[in-house]
Amino acid sequence: MEKITIIGSGCAGLTAAIYTARAGLNPLVLTGMMPGGLLTTTGIVENFPGFPVGIDGFELVNRMQQQAERFGARIKMGVVESVNLAKTPFSIIVEGEEINSQSIIIASGASHKRLGLESEKLLEKKGVTYCATCDGALPIFRNQPLVVVGGGDSACEEALFLTRFGSVVYLVHRRDKLRASKIMAERVLSNSKIKPIWNSVVVDILDVTKDKVTGVKIKNVKTESISVVDCAGVFVAIGHVPNTSLFAGQIELNDAGYIVQKNGTMTSVPGVFAAGDCCDYRYRQAITAAGQGCSAAIDAERYLSEL
């Protein structure tokens, strides 16, 4: 039986692994579908303390994993299929294998939010993508007009990255100003290759009949006029949804699906703790996820010591 199992291997999960491993709890870390979490799809991370010139997101997570393993954390590749939190020890099924654990830290993170269009689904990986740093350098996007949907920091980062490859980058945003931080907004608006399209939403992606992206149909939310923008790629950056469906009905979630924390990082089930983007709908930063991972590890350690 495991003393502590950590579900998720992003900043929150790996920080929790570092702390619990140093406490001698020999934690088991389940990587999930995306080992390292969303941060691995980020280019240069400039706001994580200790890296004055920035660091690649994948490299940052990789260093965290190495640090956790140095102290005895065990990393297990696999996707959690189900959990039973009704009694202790808790049961976790990972690709058919059952793991029993005295405590759990949920650090399952979040996934990219989608537009919800049928054409989006049909053209995914055929010009529709959710990660510029993963796909932006592909030949189909080079020297072609590209579209980024969104107005936050993620969308701005995507747009800036794509200026290296696309001929022009259209940034489609439903409002008349960006939601991004001031420094990111200034970088985007001062870049001559980025063309904002304000007060607009994408209502369709063309062209399913050609089995590739050829453009987007855009609706102005104020005038309701429809226009078409030719492009070879659509990069969706409109936010995230927490990866918590696995726990619905077993622990308390809010209306948006985020795990509700009580008295620090505790959940509604004693012995189950939560950290990072699966419960943080306000800050959603790598450093705050790491901080919550630390807190969850300390809370879990104290819980186990009281058993």
11, 56, 131, 255: the catalytic one is 131
Among residues 11, 135, 277, 279, which one is catalytic? 135
User: For the chain, how far is it from start to end, CA to CA, in angstroms?
Assistant: 15
> What is the C-alpha separation between 269 and 119, in angstroms, rounded?
40
Q: Catalytic site residue 131?
A: yes
State yes or no: is 135 an active-site residue: yes
What three-state secondary structure class fits 306?
helix
30, 281, 306 from 265: Cα distances, Å? 19, 14, 17
Taking the C-alpha atoms of residue 16 and residue 103, their distance in angstroms, rounded to an integer, is 13
* C-alpha distances in Å from residue 57, one per residue of 10, 35, 44, 60, 90: 10, 12, 6, 5, 32
- Output the CA angle 160-163-166, nearest 5 degrees: 140
Q: What is the DSSP letter of 55?
A: E
Asked about 278 being catalytic, the answer comes back as: no
Classify the C-alpha dihedral 198-203-205-206 as positive or negative. Answer: negative
CA distance 148 to 159: 6
Specify whether the backbone of 37 is left (phi greater than 0), alpha (psi in -120 to 50) or beta: left
Supply the residues annotated as catalytic.
131, 134-135
